């Protein structure tokens, strides 16, 4: 880590109703999705990735994207985002008045074929058409680079290839970039190096880090990115989520664990951790299974336990 100092504020971007739900074994009813998003809007998160406008055959859990986007209450100050893979999805997201479209493709050819059924070149060509379609709409465009820290089929991806794709995004007219560790392959040293290289090459371009905790390195990777000046992180309530088209994918870093860590470190996030924990603790009943997030179970570091009675030193 070069600087060793931390940003004045970290922006928390909640992805539970997109990345989180896309891989769930069961469809979460539309009304429950809307209620969850509305509750998250009141926690102080900077962005909420509401849904994906993708093929309902590819991701049946998010087949209600338009309905959800229409029904949520938009809170001023929160940016409402939708993932889009192609022009058709972008047009639907623009119709739904999303504030931001998250254009996603993989730097790895094999994962892009598995996930999007397109070569990276085809995805990029489609993205140029999306930029043209979105011009004048007022919607922001973020470009996500999936498998930026490694692909479950191809392994490591050269940093030069990742940065070249970021450059292509920016040249095409996108406003910001996300480096995504789709299957939790990133390690903190690699993260520090790639974030430093990105910032050196692209200066103040808005950068988001999207980590999965598949191998227990998620929050260590956050710390490494923070040390290089990153200040935006995607995270999922409860730590659920994953790409259905990447073998072995598991949950995102947990939003409440991330906010708890930052709060304990004295780094402001603007997020009400108590409210977030209430929502995380309600998730198992909503989903029908346990969640990987740890602070929802353990409580905050400051939640002390009553001391055992009758304590005295052994004489």
Of 44, 89, 143, 251, the residue at the interface with ligand COA (CB under 6 A) is 89
Residue 59 binds: one of ligand COA, Zn ion, none (C-beta under 5 to 8 A by kind): ligand COA
- The residue from 94, 107, 196, 243 that is catalytic is 243
**Is 243 an active-site residue?**
yes
Of 52, 108, 178, 250, the residue at the interface with ligand COA (CB under 6 A) is 52
Q: How far is the CB of 276 from Zn ion (least distance, A)?
A: 19
Q: Which stretch binds ligand COA (CB under 6 A): 42-50, 86-94, 201-209, 226-234?
A: 86-94
Q: What is the distance between the alpha carbons of residues 113 and 163, in angstroms, rounded to a whole number?
A: 20
Strand partners, 48: 14, 80
Token representation of residue 227? 């040390």
Told to check if 85 binds ligand COA by CB under 6 A, we report yes
Q: How far is the CB of 206 from ligand COA (least distance, A)?
A: 20
Told to check if 19 binds Zn ion by CB under 5 A, we report yes
Told to check if 104 binds ligand COA by CB under 6 A, we report yes
Active site residues: 243
List of residues contacting ligand COA (CB under 6 A): 22, 52-55, 57-59, 85-86, 88-89, 104, 115-117, 146, 243, 245
């Amino acid at each position: 880590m070069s600087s060793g100092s931390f940003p004045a504020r970290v922006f928390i971007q909640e992805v539970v109703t997109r990345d989180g739900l896309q891989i769930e074994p069961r469809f979460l009813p539309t009304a429950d999705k809307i209620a969850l998003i509305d509750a998250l809007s009141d926690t102080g998160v900077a962005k909420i990735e509401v849904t994906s406008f993708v093929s309902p055959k590819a991701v049946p859990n998010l087949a209600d994207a338009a309905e959800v986007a229409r029904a949520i209450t938009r809170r001023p100050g929160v940016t409402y985002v939708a993932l889009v893979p192609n022009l058709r999805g972008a047009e639907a997201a623009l119709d739904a008045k999303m504030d931001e479209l998250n254009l996603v493709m993989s730097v790895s050819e094999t994962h892009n074929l598995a996930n999007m059924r397109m070569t990276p070149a085809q995805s990029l060509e489609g993205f140029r058409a999306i930029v043209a379609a979105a011009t004048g709409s007022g919607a922001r465009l973020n470009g996500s680079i999936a498998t930026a820290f490694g692909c479950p089929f191809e392994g490591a991806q050269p940093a030069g290839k990742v940065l070249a794709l970021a450059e292509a995004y920016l040249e095409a007219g996108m406003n910001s970039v996300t480096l995504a560790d789709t299957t939790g392959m990133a390690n903190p040293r690699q993260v520090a190096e790639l974030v430093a290289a990105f910032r050196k090459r692209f200066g103040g371009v808005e950068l988001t880090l999207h980590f999965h905790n598949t191998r227990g390195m998620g929050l260590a990777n956050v710390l490494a990115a923070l040390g290089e000046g990153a200040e935006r992180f995607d995270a999922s309530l409860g730590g659920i989520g994953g790409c259905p088209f990447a073998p072995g994918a598991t949950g995102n870093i947990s939003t409440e664990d991330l906010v708890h860590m930052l709060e304990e470190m004295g780094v402001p996030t603007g997020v009400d951790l108590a409210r977030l924990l209430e929502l995380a603790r309600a998730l198992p009943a909503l989903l029908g299974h346990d969640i990987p997030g740890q602070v929802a179970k353990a409580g905050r570091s400051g939640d002390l336990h009553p001391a055992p009675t009758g304590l005295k030193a052994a004489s």
